[in-house]
Structure 1
């Protein structure tokens, strides 16, 4: 119960402390916030930061938890937030869904918003006294990197009776996939899964396959209700990559007791089907997680993650950048990157 309380508090503070003040709310439920200019990266409150470097516009676009977007020319100073996630209030998401862990991906001639949407007015299950709301990874589309991102034809990508989150994109042998997490609150041993997507990403095809489970991680830790120390049950924040030698890897995040921590796994076969071999130790120091990789417009490989600090008793999550080395078979963490 202590673990559940901690998890709930972290989600509450992350979702309620990271965004500028609401200055207007329309009847549709869409929120409008003050747009600011030249905001330093470390002054932005944002969970799960994901950055798209767009060569065509010469700009960086950052999303994360919430349906907001920030823009920058140099990674140092940012303008925003701009509301970009347009959802259908008549869909299962309802009028004003929570939006977590949004990522932008360019694929073919479109831009796609991969997000986790939650409608807490719909209850799909109760497990160990925990009422589970309708939650799923879903994809919106736009012709431009700065949106707006709008729904496509299919109402669902994943089963309505299973809470899923943190969907990300990967293409293998010309086939697009969503890689996503199965919520630990329902299965009590979080999963990492894949599902094939339609060629325009407007829906999914067939059934999903499990790649690995939370308990496979040798580095994560939690204490269960009986007082035993076990691997954490949480899978979170997948991000796929290939090293310059062609090694397929995945960043993903879990917990070491009460500290959000990021690990990495590598596919022995070089494909999504694995088997996935977990690294013995986390790739980042404690208190960094939900990472993703991108190359700057100049070609430098960086990782975007969030960390946290306490401000006046509030739990604040904020973006960080690290330099990375992918020249060998394994990803190597470099120093913190400070844009100039």
Structure 2
């Protein structure tokens, strides 16, 4: 198309180039943020050696990138769900994780369709929510659906699925069955297909929220009992080979992270809960990764309530020692 009139040329440039300029301005304004200036729940960091880049995601489903863990560019949209699936056209996304496995990148996340109600328990309506897995050829996406559109039963609200290859060399998802339905949240495992495109069999319970010696709440009679919430599992092995799991619950109004260790060294446990939380109050939903220099760090968020009642959650990085049978956070 050839435009000869000067005013038409000017109009063409304004209409067509201004949006591009605006997008560049928005993008530039969001680049190179410091970690503590980002508001993000459930931060997860993939240290990808192939690209020499750190990739961070979490609740909300966006992606951030960094070469040094200090300055982060983003957020980028990387998720492409199927609007015709059970998720609907605009699902909520919680607790996203990125995992490299056999040359591909997998996006574990909790998706919620608020328009579908699957149950009502004690007056609470329970929305369709489930842990699910998407796939991509590269760490920055796009992440798209695979073969199976359902990994876990449609009748159960499940969340915070994470990835683990156990000693049998089979891949598994470890996830939570939400307390809103069973009133005593569980930590469960389910086997995955070799390419992670679906699940095999049924979930098996690893432990329950009530097994925790450190989480606390008041019951209807005013008695102190274990909290009902299981949240944010993350599997790891210490340098001595001990299998452990980070997970989060509450101590009254404080969001707190604990650790459990498997006596058998496998997902089957039995899982022995540490007596005390590993983090200070109002830090939780952690995971661990090694930097390109070999340092072990825990990524987790701080948690506080703002003046308007909204949660304010900021990513944090803590140094971890895993040289013994149990991990410890370095002061």
TM-score (norm 1): 0.88
Partners of 1:271 and 1:260 in 2: CA distance? 27
Is 1:159 aligned to 2:158, yes or no?
no
Partner of 1:266: 261
User: What is the DSSP-based 3-state SS (H/G/I as helix, E as strand, rest coil) of the residue aligned with 2:268?
Assistant: coil
Name the counterpart of 2:22: none
- Measure the CA separation in 2 of the matches of 1:272 and 1:69: 30
For residues 268-308 of structure 1, the C-alpha deviation after alignment (integer angstroms, 9 at most, x for no partner) is: 01110000000000000101000000000111000000002
Aligned pair partner of 2:139 in 129, 135, 145:
145
Instruction: Report the RMSD for the aligned CA atoms in angstroms.
Output: 1.3
Alignment-derived partner of residue 84 in structure 1: 78
Partner of 1:276: 271
Q: How does 1:162-173 map to 2 (within 5 A)?
A: 162-172=156-166, 173=168
**By how many angstroms is 1:312 displaced?**
5.0
Question: Which of 37, 40, 47 pairs up with 1:43?
Answer: 37
Match of 1:124 in 2: 118
Query: For residue 210 of structure 2, what is the aligned residue in structure 1?
Result: 215
Give the superposition deviation at 1:309.
4.0
CA distance in 2, matches of 1:74, 1:160: 41
How far has the Cα of 1:175 moved from its partner?
A: 0.3
Whether the 8 Å CA contact 2:173–2:190 is kept in 1: the answer is yes
Cα deviations by residue, 1:79-114 (Å, 9 ceiling, x for unpaired) = 000011110000000000000000000001100000
**Other-structure match for 2:128:** 134
User: How many equivalent residue pairs?
Assistant: 304
Q: Which sections of structure 2, spanning at least 5 residues, go unmatched?
A: 1-18, 20-24
The DSSP-based 3-state class of the residue aligned with 1:111 is strand
CA contact (8 A) 2:255 2:303 kept: no
The alignment status of 1:329 with 2:321, answered yes or no, reads no
CA contact (8 A) 1:34 1:81 kept: no
Deviation at 1:264, TM superposition (A): 0.2
Q: Structure 2 length normalisation: TM-score?
A: 0.90
Picking from 227, 232, 236, the partner of 2:227 is 232
Report SS of the residue matched to 2:210.
Answer: helix
Cα 1:95–1:34, aligned 2, differ >3 Å: closer, same or farther?
Answer: farther
